[in-house]
Structure 1
Amino acid sequence: MIGYVTIGVNDMEKAKAFYSELLADLGASVILDMDRIAFLGTGMDAPMLAVCVPHNEGDPQPGNGNMIAITAPSKEKVDELYHKAISLGGSCEGEPGQRIPDMFYGAYFRDPDGNKVAFYVFG
């Protein structure tokens, strides 16, 4: 259903490096790079994350309430990816933990441009 989600960034090279390193453990990499926009994912037939310099060349403005949630295969991987995001320059928006008993485990961070992202696992 979702083809890709786009977030605005200030520095394309920094954003590509941040997300390439962060998502490498999930098998994702930059699969299409078109100068002001780059798509990261595992293939063109799977959901992707796009980072871009806004079309109007204005400052990217992360939305209040907008968030990207990326599934992880286990609670341990949620923890690992969260800590990796922080070590790469992200900031904490909610440490890893069980949010809904026996149902939802997640961790939240903001990337260097202020975009809110979660890693999660159901079950």
Structure 2
Amino acid sequence: MVAFLAPSTDAVDLAYQAGMENGGLDEGEPGERPHYGDGYYGAYLRDPDGNKLHIVYRVDFSLQ
């Protein structure tokens, strides 16, 4: 599995949507993942070759 760090929740949504529109398979729609910690938002999909991808945005609470 490969993970990509996104700059925002919107970027996670857009990347997931682009992957799905280009032959990807759903492995977990975009959304909060509280079991990974506060401020964790991610999506999972498989590319057409079967590789699992994770796109994630993590809130940096130190900046707030």
Task: Classify the TM-score, shorter chain.
Answer: 0.7 to 0.9
Deviation at 1:102, TM superposition (A): 3.2
| Aligned position for 2:7 | 73
TM-score, normalised to structure 2, is 0.84
In structure 2, runs of 5+ residues without a counterpart are: 60-64
Residue 90 in structure 1 maps to residue 32 in structure 2:
no
Equivalent residues in 2 for 1:14-53, closer than 5 Å? none
Instruction: Give runs of aligned pairs for residues 95-114 of structure 1, distance below 5 A.
Output: 95-100=29-34, 102-114=38-50
Unaligned 5+ runs, structure 1: 1-66
Equivalences, count: 57
Deviations 1:53-98 (CA, angstroms, capped at 9, x unpaired): xxxxxxxxxxxxxx11000000011001000000011010000000
User: CA shift at 1:103, angstroms?
Assistant: 2.1
Could you say which structure has the greater relative contact order, defined with CA pairs below 8 angstroms and 6 or more residues apart?
Answer: 2
* Structure 1 runs of 4+ with >3 Å offset: none
Deviation at 1:108, TM superposition (A): 0.3
| Matched-pair identity in % | 49
2:52 is the alignment partner of 1:116? yes
